[in-house]
């Protein structure tokens, strides 16, 4: 099983600042199968980034994804008030899906 | 517009079976491009994939559940279901159904909270 580790656990930032979230895998993950989700309190997760770097439909261009192999990054260029949420990375491999533990982006 | 809606008891007794259904509207569970999945989230914790099913009935599961989960599909009702056997307090969670398209989960239900009581 591929284990995903996300850091930091919590990121305290102000609106307008840049957020950089890390997702590290215990084994190599194909970029095709690395996905990011956003979850707000009381809501289901929302697809954000797929294929490590492609934005899902309707996702603003301030969100970007990058990385390959075992290290992936989600960047929010300028935080908007609605971006404060928990972000999860997810991978698929060998007919198994795993999620990272999440990074909470909170208002400083 | 594709919508998924979970339904089922919100309270289950320990050692019994948790049974949930997901009704799909705006798409067909018989779609040849999609799988249908169950994912859960214990209170205050992260997400755990439970398993996936194709319209043909082909399934694959998270091995951590040690064969306690069964997912089935009813194409006539445009629904798929989850049965989780021998539940314990550790199975208390929000349960989501979702569409799996090319190994990502693009459409989610709103989720349903299931509490396991002793």
Closest-CA residue in chain B for A45? B108
pLDDT at B66: 78
- What lies within 8 Å, CB to CB, of B20 at 6+ separation is B6, B7, B8, B38, B81, B82, B95, B97, B112, B114
CB contact under 8 A, B106 and A97: no
Using CB atoms within 10 Å of the CB of residue A57, give its burial: 0 to 12 exposed, 13 to 18 middle, 19+ buried: exposed
Chain A residue closest in CA terms to B4: A44
Q: Is B5 on the interface with A (CB under 8 A)?
A: no
Query: How many CA atoms within 13 Å lie on the side-chain side of A23?
Result: 33
Angle (nearest 5°) at CA A66 between A62 and A70: 145
Q: Which residues of B touch A97 (CB under 8 A)?
A: 49, 52, 62, 103
Residue A12 CB contacts under 8 Å (≥ 6 apart), including other chains: A106, A107, A108
Q: Give the pair of three-digit tokens for residue A41.
A: 């309190």
Name the closest residue on chain A to residue B96, using Cα atoms. Answer: A44
- The closest of B96, B104, B105, B115 to B4, measured between CA atoms, is B96
Q: How far, in Å, CA of B77 to CA of A55, rounded?
A: 33
What are the residue ranges in chain A where pLDDT is below 50? Answer: none
Chain B residue numbers with beta carbons less than 8 Å from the beta carbon of A92 are: 103-104
CA distance A30 to chain B (A): 12
Q: How many helices (H) and strands (E) does chain B have?
A: 0, 11
What pLDDT is recorded for position B43?
A: 96
Q: Tell me the pLDDT tens digit for each residue of B4-45.
A: 999 999 999 999 999 999 999 999 999 999 999 999 999 999
pLDDT of residue A94: 85
């Amino acid at each position: 099983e591929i284990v995903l580790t996300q850091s930091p656990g919590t990121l305290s930032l102000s609106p307008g600042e840049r957020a950089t979230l890390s997702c590290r895998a215990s084994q190599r993950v194909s970029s095709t199968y690395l996905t990011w989700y956003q979850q707000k309190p009381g809501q289901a997760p929302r697809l954000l980034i797929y294929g490590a770097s492609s934005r899902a439909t309707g996702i603003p261009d301030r969100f970007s994804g990058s990385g390959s192999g075992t290290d992936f990054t989600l960047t929010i260029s300028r935080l908007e008030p609605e971006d404060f949420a928990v972000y999860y990375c997810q991978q698929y491999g060998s007919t198994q899906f795993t999620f990272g533990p999440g990074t909470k982006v909170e208002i400083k | 517009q594709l919508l998924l809606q979970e339904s089922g008891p919100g309270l289950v007794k320990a050692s019994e079976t948790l049974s949930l259904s997901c009704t799909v509207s705006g798409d067909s569970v018989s779609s040849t491009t999609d799988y249908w999945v169950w994912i859960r989230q214990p209170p205050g914790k992260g997400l755990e994939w439970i398993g996936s099913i194709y319209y043909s009935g082909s399934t694959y599961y998270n091995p951590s559940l040690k064969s306690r989960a069964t997912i089935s599909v009813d194409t006539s009702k445009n629904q798929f279901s989850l049965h989780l056997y021998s539940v314990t307090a550790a199975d208390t969670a929000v349960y989501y159904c979702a569409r799996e398209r090319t190994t990502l989960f693009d459409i989610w239900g709103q989720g349903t909270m299931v509490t396991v009581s002793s």
